[in-house]
A and B are shown apart, each in its own frame.
Chain A
Amino acid sequence: MPQTLCAVLVLGILQAPSPPAPSQRPGGDLRVWAAASLGPVLVGLEAPWEAQTGARLVLNLDASSRIARQVAEGAPADVLVTADRAWMEWAFEQGAADPAQARRVSANRLVLVASRDGPRVSPDPPTAPDDLDSFLESWDSTRRIGIAGEDVPAGRYARESLRALGRSEQVGPALVTGGNVRTVLEWVARGELPLGFVYRSDAWEDARVRVVADVADSLHTAIEIWAAPVVTTANPDAALRFVEFLSGSTGQGAFREAGFTPGAGGLRDPPSLLSPTDSRPPVASVRSAIRISVQVALVATLLSVIPAVGLGWLLARRPFPGKTAVSALLLAPLVIPPVVTGFLLLNLLGTGSPVGRALAALGIPVAFTFLAAVMAAAVVGFPLFVIAVRNAFEAVDSRLEEMSWTLGARPRRTFWRVSLPLALPGIGAGAVLSFARALGEFGATVVIAGNVEGETRTIALAVYTLLESPGDSAAIWWLVGASVGISLLALAGFEYLSRRQRHLVRRNPDV
């Protein structure tokens, strides 16, 4: 199972690597930027496409909101495939795709899934689920529900449906926002979250989840899969051919097999009712994002103080077995991609692990809570803290400690009266640095803490969320200003404290 998550992480968050640009090989590889939910279909079409044309497909899979924006900003894509109509229309407006060449290639449905207990018996399609309204009637509100971001189509449809049912307020507090629908699926499949809104095609494909409720089509904007050649493509013919390939029998067969609803259509139907921004629920709150960021960073730093000072002192002053290994391991979070750190933390603290289960049993669930954001921030900030503490202690002349001993102060007393006061500015500098790093934490947080408005949505996550939606640039600029301002303030504090430290431990001039 971890491979699947890895694939999601690599494809969805880190983005696909970039093989040759289309301009270099006209008529060759076709670069398809597609909604994450279409991954299985498109991967399955790689071989038939290559058989037909001799060219390879190069896929970049992410949320429709993100790929549409990237294509509009000039990403080197040949074909854009979105999991909803609104983002395709937005691409038309931006002049990134040509309406005349666009096709509705399929349709999808929304379902609520739970993680499946036990092994799968047969490749059964999800059958006999409840409808959403009756499911929510008897739903236990402590069972949290994963949902894609406000501006990701899957997230929008799910929120529309909840509003249509008049259940937004009931369910709102239990929602955990993931980056894209594949992330939500993975959370549920791994048992980190009990429930999640995903596409029917996702549930179909993934043996680890089962459908517990169907979301009626009438509750939300129709979920249409749209494909169009990108206007700037260097391969207009191949791009158009691929769009028609998706509408053709091979393409439609692949969609059907993957659990999509047949829905290929010709040119444009009447315009959809919703533009990407219309149905947007309250945007990420600037104030709450700043508050959460500062709280998370502050708590993470405070929790780190005692371990960082202890470990920094040990590394500076004491030989112990495995010291090299410890000091190397300590630096790991500095060089490991934060997303990977988040993944490891999720494995350590999620409900799938004994530690996570024990904590949850004690009433301290970690994953997707404020505490998870704190853990992510603490882990990535800790190395900087310890390095600063270690340097601070190493800068203290160890003979001052010896002098203290000869004056009758045992090591413990010496630590409190000599070592610690002399290292204090350096320790403060480390705390400030770790606070600043915690403030900027994104990758690990988004994996283990999700993107929960008012709970784990920090400045970085709020900016990311807002970037997915056109408009709201004022909110983004407020957040950017706050982020840059607080960071610079923290770095100024770091600089000041570092200077104090150097001044304090400067060796006496020779006598």
Chain B
Amino acid sequence: MSETGPLLRARVSIDLGSLHLSVELSSATGAVAVVGPSGAGKTTFLRILAGLEPRARGRVTVGGAAWMDTADGTWVQPWDRRVGWVPQDTLLFPHLSVRENLAYGLSRVGDSSSPAPLDDLAELVEARHLMDRRPAVLSGGERQRVAVARALLSRPRLLLLDEPFSALDRPLRDELAPRIRGYLDRHGIPVVLVSHEEADAHALGCREFHLVEGRLTP
């Protein structure tokens, strides 16, 4: 991923009736955090980046490639964007084991045959002992760790974290966050984190923006 200009550039807006969101964000660094109160539109912003809000208008480029541009009709489907999406409630597939959840995104990378990265990432988020369990029996924190590992395993071009540490206690967050950051740096994966807590942004070493009433301020 050669860098010519900002890694992530987004100038998007969406009108959902109750929420009018208009965000302009440009970042040359690999890690951005959007901090704001609940209801400010943080989750919607991530969904726009993931390609899950077809009603959004504007332009998004990642690593120089345009994902959407309503000016010229560019639209990359969510399955072709390669984002790693970690929603707040994790959305693990309830009918699959942890191992199957982790492996779900591997098929697009084409190396589902080798379990090595799968085990490595399970190790990274301390989920190796959970592999054969169903999501329903996991604790909230365990689910979040598995969800992060699943997102990373799909080799994303952009990682989207939605309140990823909300269910982790502080010591665990402080232990895991640097590991994840290290992994992102090693693989050159940019990340957008949204949270209502600045501490999350600090833990992952993100450049911080504040989202208030649908508008972004540094």
Contacts and interface: CB of A to CB of B under 8 A. Distances in A.
Interface of A: 397, 399-400, 402-411, 417-418, 421-422, 504-511
Contacts of B51: 405-406
B172 interface: no
Nearest to B94: A504
B213 interface: no
Contact of B166 (A400, A421, A511): A511
B214 interface: no
Interface string B14-34: 000000000000000000000
Given A508-B136, A511-B167, A407 B91 contact: no
26 contacts: A397-B91, A399-B87, A400-B91, A400-B93, A400-B94, A403-B87, A406-B51, A406-B85, A407-B104, A407-B105, A407-B108, A408-B105, A409-B79, A410-B79, A411-B79, A422-B94, A422-B95, A504-B94, A504-B95, A507-B89, A508-B92, A510-B89, A511-B90, A511-B143, A511-B144, A511-B167
Given A407-B108, A422-B94, A508 B78 contact: no
A415 to B, nearest CB: 13
B41 interface: no
A508 B79 contact: no
A425 to B, nearest CB: 10
B78 A511 contact: no
Nearest to A400: B91
Given A402-B52, A508-B135, A408 B94 contact: no
Nearest first, the 10 closest Cβ-Cβ pairs linking A and B are A408-B108, A511-B140, A407-B105, A405-B78, A511-B167, A403-B91, A406-B85, A405-B79, A421-B95, A410-B79
- Interface size class on chain B is 35 or more
A111 B134 CA distance: 73
Contact of A408 (B82, B135, B136): B82
B50 interface: yes
B107 interface: yes
Given A405-B77, A508-B90, 17 more contacts: A397-B91, A399-B87, A400-B94, A402-B50, A404-B93, A407-B108, A408-B82, A408-B109, A408-B154, A409-B107, A504-B94, A508-B89, A508-B135, A508-B136, A511-B90, A511-B166, A511-B167
B183 to A, nearest CB: 18
Interface of B: 50-52, 77-79, 81-85, 87-95, 104-105, 107-109, 135-136, 140-141, 143-144, 150, 154, 166-167
A403 B107 CA distance: 14
A407 B154 contact: yes
Nearest to B166: A511
Nearest to A505: B94
Contacts of A403: 85, 87, 91, 93
Main secondary structure of the interface of A (DSSP, over half): helix
Nearest to A407: B105
B209 to A, nearest CB: 23
Contacts of A406: 50-52, 78-79, 81, 83-85
Nearest to B156: A406
B89 A511 contact: yes
Contacts of B79: 405-411
B157 to A, nearest CB: 11
Max chain B Cβ within 10 angstroms of own Cβ: one of A397, A403, A417, A418: A403
Contacts of A397: 91
Given A510-B89, A511-B143, A408 B107 contact: yes
A228 B25 CA distance: 96
A400 B82 CA distance: 16
Contacts of B52: 402, 405-406
Nearest to A408: B108
A407 B94 contact: no
Contacts of B109: 408
Max chain B Cβ within 10 angstroms of own Cβ: one of A508, A509, A511: A511
A228 B83 CA distance: 87
Given A405-B78, A421-B95, A422-B94, A508 B85 contact: no
Max chain A Cβ within 10 angstroms of own Cβ: one of B87, B94, B144: B94
A409 B109 CA distance: 11
Contacts of B140: 509-511
Nearest to A414: B79
Nearest to B81: A406
A408 B112 CA distance: 13
Max chain B Cβ within 10 angstroms of own Cβ: one of A397, A405, A411: A405
B56 to A, nearest CB: 14
A412 B59 CA distance: 28
B162 to A, nearest CB: 11
Contacts of B95: 421-422, 504
A188 to B, nearest CB: 56
